Structure 1
């Protein structure tokens, strides 16, 4: 995992950039590093949990479904500001807009009756304040925003 940490000059925000390979162990290291950022930036435990879950779901979807073979890179930028946290994820996998291409989550059945899988994107959408996707220059770009207060 490559990591570049930058602190905004004269701003009350921290920006942290990471590049990982499409490997579950690398993803786990990224999640741990972002949790450390949360501690440093005084995120609430709830925000740390939501960011952890979002990165895990998005990262595993990219690793498991984004490529046919080979090792590829996932880029992640975390921007921590006093009012909100923004997580951006880029990958060059096959085009996949989680807002439109993900299967509809079954929220009407009991947990026991729901099929395994297919709930991750729904969870991320409901736990984050903003969830945006765009395909730019052959890359998927997901942006997640969560308020830090209230």
Structure 2
């Protein structure tokens, strides 16, 4: 397992994506979208001092664990939103958690010792 610990700053998203690409040895749009949605939510809302991302990749199975010491928040308890019927009805914000749930093969959450632990499994073809 590899990990990257960074400050919760939007400018660090590129570094995080490059870290994950170096592990899966390619770019993957769905993985990038999941990472961006989770990272941006932590940066914008958690008030944390750090974000640690643990990554393990074997046999096309990518396991990512996002850890932060911010405000306790279980995204799995957030009520699902109805996606808009068309782009004209779309509003900015609110779909990130929904997108993450839809694109992930498995997702779980725990709050342990003052830290949020969001675990995501994604099959990468």
TM-score scaled by length of structure 1: 0.76
Larger Rg: 1
Give 1:27 deviation, angstroms: 2.3
Residue 2 of structure 2 is aligned to residue 25 of structure 1: no
Give 1:100 deviation, angstroms: 0.7
Higher relative contact order (CA 8 A, sep 6+): 2
Cα contact 1:106–1:114 (8 A) shared by 2: no
Provide the C-alpha distance between the structure 1 equivalents of 2:95 and 2:45, rounded to a whole number of angstroms.
Answer: 15
Which structure is higher in helix share? Answer: 2
CA RMSD of aligned residues (A): 1.7
Which runs of 4 or more aligned residues in structure 1 lie more than 4 Å from their structure 2 counterparts after TM superposition? none
Structure 2: segments with no counterpart, 5+ residues: none
Structure 1: segments with no counterpart, 5+ residues: 1-14
Cα contact 1:105–1:119 (8 A) shared by 2: yes
Cα contact 1:18–1:30 (8 A) shared by 2: yes
TM-score scaled by length of structure 2: 0.90
Provide the C-alpha distance between the structure 1 equivalents of 2:89 and 2:103, rounded to a whole number of angstroms.
Answer: 23
Task: Tell me how many residue pairs correspond in the alignment.
Answer: 125
Of 52, 56, 67, the match for 1:90: 67
